[in-house]
Amino acid sequence: MRKPSRLIIGFWIWFYFISCSSDDDAPTIPEETGSTLPSSIIFKEIPVGTFTMGGTTIQNDAPIISVTLSAFAISEKEITNQEYIDFLNAAYADGWITVSAQQTSDPCGTYTENMVIGAGNAPHAGEVFLQLGETGGCTSGGEEEHINNRSWISFNTSSHTFELLDDTKATWPVNWVKWYGADAFAQYYTARLPTEAQWECAARGGQQLEYPTNDGTLDLTKANYNGDTPGVYNPNGHSVTVGSYPANPYGLYDMGGNVWEWCQDYYGESFYTDGAVNPVNTSAGPNNKRVRRGGSWNYHSATLRTYSRASDSENRGNNHFGFRIVKQAE
């Protein structure tokens, strides 16, 4: 039997790569900005492939479908306070942001807080990126939450620099960050927020996990969350140092719990279809909300499932909202 020629073998390798990993609808990587990511941010590569996305949710908004993704790399941990401070100081020097006191309200009252606001040539200029909160926040029922839930980032008006209020919180996930502030961080470093499909693929760990833990099961030794019952107030709850719990099979930490993670997509209840390739919802729709995934320290176990979906307005961000980023696989 004749062996296939090198030309034929080469063609089939090329065809396989193109059919599996390229698509006109794949999210684009922003152009180079010249800014260097903090060295503490480590990425894990997620290979090209097809996975089963979705599951049974209360909203019935996660159909079980087949999705194919190009290879990508995702930060192994949530972005920390120190990493966000590094961004803020660099972005401030570049004229991307300013700081202004603004009034804000919650069920506990009305306050005046310093806000980090996009400026100049920054993406989302004029929008609030981050709230520099002096309190730990407030529940929808009007209970004051633990002071450990405050924003640990402050702005020194004398030196015009952003500082960490408590060195022990450097490796806690940044909180009080709006979608605008998460996306601006990603763009500053020529990266992106994960698409919803990328997030779920990474969370499942290549093993179709029910929960994004080391083995797909969940208990309080595997994630920072608020038990199994919805609506329970925990006066002692707060986020903790990223990477405090075991990683999932892809080597990713805190994909469930700690803080919610902003995604690139707009939320659409019926957006996903079977056989999609590199899907990303760029249509704001009537609700104009962005996806957040993964649950948090003050949410119950059902919200930590790899396929559970949630959303919020781009200008919303409180003591349990954070993010991680993705880049093109090398």
Answer whether 0.85 is exceeded by the pTM.
Answer: yes
Neighbours of 123 (CB within 10 A): 15
Q: Which of 4-8, 138-142, 230-234, 263-267 has the lowest mean pLDDT?
A: 4-8
Confirm if 233 and 139 have CB atoms less than 8 A apart: yes
Q: What is the pLDDT of residues 254-271, one digit of tens each?
A: 999 999 999 999 999 999
| Of residues 1 and 194, more confidently modeled | 194
Residue type, 183: D
Residue range 289-316: mean pLDDT, rounded: 98
**pLDDT at residue 20 tops 80:** no
Percent residues over pLDDT 90 in the chain:
87
Residue range 148-160: mean pLDDT, rounded: 97
Q: Which of 27-41, 99-113, 159-173, 206-220 has the lowest mean pLDDT?
A: 27-41
Q: For residue 204, what are the CA distances in angstroms to 14, 60, 153, 200, 209? A: 28, 19, 32, 6, 5
Residue type, 327: K
**pLDDT at residue 178 tops 90:** yes
DSSP secondary structure code for residue 291 in this structure: E
Number of helices followed by number of strands (H, E) in the chain: 4, 15
**pLDDT at residue 18 tops 50:** no
Burial class (CB in 10 A: 0-12, 13-18, 19+), 236: exposed
Residue type, 142: G
104 DSSP β-pair partners: 111
User: For residue 315, which phi and psi values (nearest 5 degrees)?
Assistant: -95, 15
Q: What is the pLDDT of residues 181-208, one digit of tens each?
A: 999 999 999 999 999 999 999 999 999 9
